[in-house]
């Protein structure tokens, strides 16, 4: 049974990859030329070189599609990839965290109850690697195409299903566990300090009015009691 | 390679947080040769907590930089005995620290004086409600200490830790603006309260209107420049908003690394060894004493034996119990026979909260300190709050304010808001600065079936069994939480928010995610009988008179207050006893 599952999966991976090649035009944004606007950025420290350190091309287009779906361009911020959230996730996955730092990794492995927390034998980067492939398999099966080529409504339905445990990743890791990590990482990419590759131009912080890494508020806490603080948030790189 | 045996010292201290630091300073100043073994590394404000690098939510909160490394050592957990315990693979509900300073580096600074309502809990409740009031499976008991004997040590810790607050009861006279339910104190706090923020003011008004007694949370966040009695310099708090989980660049948040540890290091009698992991306390079974400790130098892998006349177990509360179980000094607790003492009376904390959203209000939640909160104690230290109709032992404090509301982890939106997309962004943008919460915090009572023992399956990096936690909230805890939710919601509604997500009083089962509280208590609890406690009221082991266990693991139950005020005071009290009494005539201080 196990072997059958694995072979089927290898086969499907081939289909997915083939699909990408066949269309030809889908390249991860990270390997495309930078958009013109980026060159004019006022904060060079957040301009990380394009290119992925962990994600494969197929994984890259999946993550880009997810972050642009979750963080669309609107009056609040540019879209997720324009904030560098995909870059943030790629860097996180190749960091110590992504490789299982501070994660107890000894077996035996049991599913456990929800109260017992994360119990998979996978590091975050291993979880992504397996789950993205499984998600795309599931999308091909359900919608006839990989996630990045699905319409917005289909993406929404799929992500809600993953979040709520309604989408099962056959032969893959638990979809809800993957979603929880993916969602957390998207939020980190939007709101962590820009030096990690996301939250470009502190757009996430500006959106909510977060004060950034300002060192002193001893006067402000009195002066702005109950009043809006005029935020022009600084990041770590701005003060270094 | 054979274990290298070192020269005997007067005292060896395991773990260099608040209690280890206090003992190190007091005993080395008194002329004793003291060695402290800390598994983490050295920390200094200058090297580790500089702006802007210290202002990194991802690094210190989500990635847990200053916390115990679960890959090396964690524990297993289950809710009930029937389940199989599984490892806490990534820390979540509670966060032990790992460095010189311990959890004292990353706390918020809440510093309370626990009262006789905790120390004499069983007699007070039985006296008022009768012998049958407390069910058999609730192990609450008297601790064997009193507020009166703790008062000078509370005062000493408050002065060491630069606590900001307002006295509510000075020598029996109730003071306006303070906590009228606190027990009498001889002196004011060393520093005035922190500046109030909008959420504090709104909660104060609502609570006063409802007939309660709000006061600023006493906190070891120095509200002004201050020099403590040991000569440690504090800067005034900058309300930077990065407090809980963070080191403080201003030295405004009291921490062992900038107070008691450097004070101890001034003495030639004190030696600190970092990267030193104690794997066992060595016991001389015949003599009913311990002889020292076995530890590994993490920089070389070498195993060493450090003999000592006295051993002070001062690690994080859960690790204290773990090391006692690994060392086999006292009998582990067995819930079936109800015999044994190590792992017994393990307790935790209940919390519930209401989120409120106010159109047009500006809270500036990022301008806050660890202690910018207002509290009411009307349902905790207030003995005229009649528990009889609720059928509970214990109570809860209720508070509001902002403390470390950072954007990755804290972006409240009204219930029903989508989790992503433009609608989510709109709500997040609108409410980040316009929301506040009211929360409750209650202790839990010790229960026959909540306990700690060694796990049969999983091991740490030294091949030693992990500790196994069997814990869930029990009926007494549920009833306290249900009452708390009701009262929280009443006050929240009275503020007339635009939207409100009510506090839940539903029965809850404990989960290892998300974060709940690092106020774990019990496991090596104190008491007046060796049949049900690990240490006597001087925190001296019943089974080895030269072994002393410090910290919240000695609490006989967990109250509603944060633990550190009592943890610090107990350490000062034991230090005095050692200096004035024990060293003159070593032996059991209380006859069993």
Q: How far apart are CA A217 and CA B243, in angstroms?
A: 13
Matching residue, tokens 């209401």: B354
Q: Which CATH number fits domain B1-105+112-160+255-348+444-472+517-592: 3.50.50.60, 3.30.70.20, 3.40.228.10, 3.30.70.270?
A: 3.50.50.60
Average pLDDT for residues B39-51, to the nearest whole number? 96
The pLDDT score that the predictor gives to residue B286 is 87
Put the strands of the sheet holding B435-443 in their side by side order. Answer: B215-216, B373-376, B396-401, B435-443, B349-357, B499-501
Q: Which helix (H) or strand (E) holds A223?
A: helix A220-223
Chain A partners of B367 at a C-beta cutoff of 8 Å? 211, 217, 220-221, 224, 229
The pLDDT score that the predictor gives to residue A50 is 72
Matching residue, tokens 């209107």: B209
Q: Which of B65, B425, B465 has the most A C-beta neighbours within 10 Å, making it the best mutation to test the interface with A?
A: B425
Q: Do B407 and A217 touch (CB under 8 A)?
A: no
Quick one: which of B1, B5, B496 has its CA closest to B209? B496
What is the pairing mode between strands B86-87 and B303-313?
A: unpaired
pTM confidence score? 0.94
ipTM of this predicted complex? 0.96
* B519 included as an active-site residue: yes
Quick one: which of A190, A65, A70 has its CA closest to A132? A65
The pLDDT score that the predictor gives to residue B518 is 96
Chain A partners of B511 at a C-beta cutoff of 8 Å? 114-115, 117
Helix (H, G, I), strand (E, B) or coil at B424: helix
Torsion angle, CA of A180/B64/A210/B216, rounded to 10 degrees?
Answer: 120
Average pLDDT for residues B166-176, to the nearest whole number? 97
**b/e sequence B27-45, b meaning 16+ C-beta within 10 Å:** bbbbebbbbbbbbbebbeb
The tokens describing B10, both together, are 């007067």
> Which of A208-222, B347-361, B445-459, B551-565 has the weakest average pLDDT?
A208-222
**b/e sequence B291-311, b meaning 16+ C-beta within 10 Å:** bbbbbbbbeeeebbbbbbbbb
The tokens describing A136, both together, are 């795309």
Q: How far apart are CA B433 and CA B411, in angstroms?
A: 9
Q: How far apart are CA B429 and CA B154, in angstroms?
A: 44
Provide the mean pLDDT of chain B. 97
Helix spans in B432-523 (H): 475-494
Q: Which helix (H) or strand (E) holds B470?
A: strand B465-470
**B571 exposed, middle or buried (CB, 10 Å; 0-12, 13-18, 19+)?**
buried
Residues 213-242, chain B, touching A (beta carbon < 8 A)? 236-241
Quick one: which of B30, B44, B112 has its CA closest to B565? B112
B549 bridge partner residues: B313
Quick one: which of B560, B530, B562 has its CA closest to B544? B530
The tokens describing A85, both together, are 């959230």
**b/e sequence B131-144, b meaning 16+ C-beta within 10 Å:** eebbeebbbbbbbb
Q: Do A104 and B511 touch (CB under 8 A)?
A: no
Average pLDDT for residues B440-444, to the nearest whole number? 95
Quick one: which of B549, B531, B522, B547 has its CA closest to B592? B531
Identify the band that residue B506 occupies on the pLDDT scale cut at 50, 70 and 90.
very high
Q: Do B362 and A227 touch (CB under 8 A)?
A: yes
Q: Is A214 on the interface with B (CB under 8 A)?
A: yes
Q: How far apart are CA A26 and CA A154, in angstroms?
A: 19
Q: How much of chain B is helix, strand and coil, in % rounded to 5? A: 25, 25, 50
Q: How far apart are CA A125 and CA A94, in angstroms?
A: 7
Number of H helices, E strands in chain A: 10, 0
Query: Is residue B478 a contact partner of residue B507, using CB atoms and an 8 Å limit?
Result: yes
- Given the residues B106, B519, B545, B557, the one annotated as active site: B519
Query: Is residue B556 a contact partner of residue B534, using CB atoms and an 8 Å limit?
Result: no
Chain B partners of A180 at a C-beta cutoff of 8 Å? none
Helix axes B564-580, B147-160, angle to 10 degrees: 100
Q: What is the pLDDT along chain A (240 residues), one digit of tens a residue?
A: 334 444 433 333 333 333 333 333 455 665 554 444 443 344 444 445 579 999 999 999 999 999 999 999 999 999 999 999 999 999 999 999 999 999 999 999 999 999 999 999 999 999 999 999 999 999 999 999 999 999 999 999 999 999 999 999 988 999 999 999 999 999 999 999 999 999 999 999 999 999 999 878 999 999 999 999 998 999 999 998
Q: Which helix (H) or strand (E) holds B11?
A: strand B9-14
Quick one: which of B95, B245, B116 has its CA closest to B183? B116
Q: Do B238 and A240 touch (CB under 8 A)?
A: no
Closest residue in B to A95 (Cα–Cα): B63
| Alpha-carbon distances, residue B351 vs B179, B477, B481, B515, B560 (angstroms) | 21, 10, 7, 11, 10
Distance from CA of B564 to the nearest CA of A (A): 26
Q: Is A180 on the interface with B (CB under 8 A)?
A: no
Q: Do A211 and B53 touch (CB under 8 A)?
A: no
Give the dihedral sign, CA A142/A144/A145/A149. Answer: negative
Cβ contacts of A165 within 8 Å, gap of 6 or more? A175, A176
Measured in residues, chain B has a length of 592
Cβ contacts of B508 within 8 Å, gap of 6 or more? B350, B473, B478, B481
Chain B partners of A211 at a C-beta cutoff of 8 Å? 241, 364, 366-367
Q: Which helix (H) or strand (E) holds B549?
A: strand B547-549
Q: What is the DSSP string of B296-310?
A: EETTT--EEEEEEEE
Dmax (CA) for chain B in angstroms is: 72
The tokens describing B356, both together, are 């409120």
Helix axes B198-209, B475-494, angle to 10 degrees: 100
Query: Is residue A198 a contact partner of residue A81, using CB atoms and an 8 Å limit?
Result: no
Q: Which helix (H) or strand (E) holds A19?
A: helix A2-23
Q: Is B40 on the interface with A (CB under 8 A)?
A: no
What is the pairing mode between strands B465-470 and B75-78?
A: parallel
Query: Is residue B498 a contact partner of residue B359, using CB atoms and an 8 Å limit?
Result: yes
Give the dihedral sign, CA B72/B78/B83/B89. Answer: negative
CB nearest B509 (choices: A115, A192, A227): A115
Q: Is A110 on the interface with B (CB under 8 A)?
A: yes
Q: How much of chain A is helix, strand and coil, in % rounded to 5? A: 55, 0, 40
Q: What percent of chain B has pLDDT over 70?
A: 100
CB nearest A115 (choices: B64, B425, B510): B510
Average pLDDT for residues B455-462, to the nearest whole number? 98
Q: What is the DSSP string of B150-169?
A: HHHHHHHHHHHTT-B---SE
Tens of pLDDT, residues B115-143: 999 999 999 999 999 999 999 999 999 99
Query: Is residue B13 a contact partner of residue B314, using CB atoms and an 8 Å limit?
Result: yes
The tokens describing B340, both together, are 């044994």
Query: Is residue B467 a contact partner of residue B76, using CB atoms and an 8 Å limit?
Result: yes
Break chain B into its structural domains and give their ranges: 1-105+112-160+255-348+444-472+517-592, 197-251+353-443+477-508
* pLDDT at residue B312 greater than cutoff 80: yes
Give the dihedral sign, CA B467/B16/B513/B505. Answer: positive
Cβ contacts of B91 within 8 Å, gap of 6 or more? A102, B64, B67, B68, B70, B74
Q: Phi, psi at residue B147, to the nearest 5°? A: -60, -40
The neighbour count for residue B463, using CB atoms within 10 Å, is 7
Matching residue, tokens 């402290």: B36
| Alpha-carbon distances, residue B201 vs B211, B363, B399, B400, B495 (angstroms) | 15, 11, 11, 9, 11
Distance from CA of B582 to the nearest CA of A (A): 41
Query: Is residue B118 a contact partner of residue B94, using CB atoms and an 8 Å limit?
Result: no
Chain A partners of B249 at a C-beta cutoff of 8 Å? 215
Q: Which helix (H) or strand (E) holds B14?
A: strand B9-14
**b/e sequence B175-192, b meaning 16+ C-beta within 10 Å:** beebbbbbbebeeebbbe
Q: Is B249 on the interface with A (CB under 8 A)?
A: yes
């Amino acid at each position: 049974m196990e072997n059958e599952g694995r072979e089927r999966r290898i086969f499907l991976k081939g289909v997915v990859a083939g699909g990408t090649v066949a269309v030809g035009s889908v390249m991860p944004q990270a390997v495309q030329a930078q958009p013109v606007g980026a060159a004019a950025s006022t904060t060079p420290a957040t301009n990380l070189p394009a290119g992925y350190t962990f994600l494969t091309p197929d994984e890259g287009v999946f993550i880009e599609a997810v972050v642009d779906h979750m963080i669309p361009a609107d009056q609040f911020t540019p879209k997720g990839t324009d904030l560098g959230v995909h870059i943030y996730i790629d860097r996180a996955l190749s960091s110590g965290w992504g490789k299982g730092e501070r994660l107890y990794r000894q077996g035996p492995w049991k599913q456990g109850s929800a109260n017992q927390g994360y119990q998979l034998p996978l590091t975050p980067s291993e979880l992504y690697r397996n789950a993205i492939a499984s998600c795309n398999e599931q999308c091909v099966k359900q919608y006839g195409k990989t996630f990045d080529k699905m319409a917005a409504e289909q993406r929404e339905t799929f992500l809600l299903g993953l979040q709520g445990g309604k989408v099962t990743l056959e032969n893959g890791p638990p979809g809800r566990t993957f979603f929880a990590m993916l969602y957390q990482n998207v939020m980190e990419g939007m709101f962590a300090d820009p030096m990690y590759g996301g939250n470009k131009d502190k757009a996430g912080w500006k959106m909510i009015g977060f004060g950034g890494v300002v060192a002193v508020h001893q006067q402000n806490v009195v002066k702005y009691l109950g009043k809006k603080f005029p935020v022009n948030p600084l990041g770590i790189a701005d003060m270094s | 390679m054979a274990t290298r045996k070192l020269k005997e010292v007067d005292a060896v201290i395991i773990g260099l947080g608040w209690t280890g630091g206090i003992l190190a300073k007091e005993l080395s100043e008194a002329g004793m040769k003291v060695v402290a073994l800390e598994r983490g590394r050295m920390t200094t404000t200058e090297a580790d907590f500089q702006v802007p690098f210290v202002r990194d939510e991802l690094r210190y909160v989500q990635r847990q930089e200053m916390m115990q490394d679960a890959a090396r050592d964690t524990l297993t957990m289950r809710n009930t005995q029937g389940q199989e315990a599984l490892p806490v693979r990534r820390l979540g509900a509670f966060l032990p620290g790992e460095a010189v300073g311990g959890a004292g580096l990353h706390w918020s600074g809440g510093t309370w004086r626990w009262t006789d309502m905790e120390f004499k809990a069983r007699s007070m409740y039985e006296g008022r409600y009768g012998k049958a009031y407390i069910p058999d499976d609730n192990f609450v008991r008297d601790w064997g200490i009193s507020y009166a004997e703790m008062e000078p040590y509370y005062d000493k810790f408050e002065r060491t830790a630069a606590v900001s607050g307002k006295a509510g009861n000075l020598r029996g006279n109730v003071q306006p603006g303070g906590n009228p339910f606190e027990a009498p104190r001889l002196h004011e706090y060393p520093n005035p309260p922190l500046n109030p923020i909008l959420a504090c003011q709104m909660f104060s008004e609502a609570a006063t209107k409802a007939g309660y007694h709000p006061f600023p949370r006493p906190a070891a966040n120095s509200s002004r420049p201050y020099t403590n009695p040991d000569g440690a310099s504090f800067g005034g708090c900058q309300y930077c908003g990065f407090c809980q989980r963070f080191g403080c660049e201003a030295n405004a948040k009291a921490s062992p690394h900038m107070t008691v540890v450097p004070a101890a290091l001034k003495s030639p009698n004190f030696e600190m060894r970092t990267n030193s992991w104690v794997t066992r306390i060595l016991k001389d079974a015949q003599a009913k004493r311990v002889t020292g400790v076995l530890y590994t130098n993490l920089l070389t892998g070498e195993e060493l034996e450090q003999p000592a006349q006295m051993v002070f177990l001062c690690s994080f509360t859960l690790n204290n119990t773990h090391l006692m179980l690994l060392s086999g000094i006292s009998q582990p607790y067995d819930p079936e026979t109800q015999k044994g003492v190590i792992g017994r009376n393990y307790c935790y904390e209940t919390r519930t909260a209401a989120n409120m959203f106010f159109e047009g209000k500006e809270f500036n939640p990022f301008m806050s300190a660890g202690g910018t909160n207002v509290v009411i104690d009307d349902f905790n230290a207030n003995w005229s709050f009649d528990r009889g109709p609720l059928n509970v032992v214990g109570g809860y404090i209720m508070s509001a304010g902002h403390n470390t509301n950072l954007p990755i982890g804290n972006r409240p939106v009204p219930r029903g808001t989508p989790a992503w997309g433009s609608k989510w962004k709109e709500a997040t943008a609108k409410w980040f600065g316009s929301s506040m919460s009211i929360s409750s915090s209650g202790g839990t009572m010790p229960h026959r079936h909540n306990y700690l023992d060694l796990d049969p399956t999983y091991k740490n990096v030294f091949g030693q069994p992990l500790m196994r936690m069997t814990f869930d909230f029990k009926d007494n805890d549920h009833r306290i939480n249900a009452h708390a939710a009701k009262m929280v919601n009443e006050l929240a509604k009275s503020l007339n928010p635009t939207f409100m997500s009510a506090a839940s009083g539903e029965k809850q089962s404990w989960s290892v995610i998300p974060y709940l509280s690092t106020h774990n208590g019990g496991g090596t609890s104190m008491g007046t009988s060796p049949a049900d406690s690990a240490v006597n009221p001087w925190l001296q082991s019943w089974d080895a008179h030269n072994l002393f266990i410090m910290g919240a693991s000695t609490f006989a139950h967990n109250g509603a207050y944060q633990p550190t005020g009592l943890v610090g005071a107990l350490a000062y009290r034991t230090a005095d006893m050692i200096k004035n009494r024990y060293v003159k005539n070593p032996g059991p201080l209380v006859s069993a």
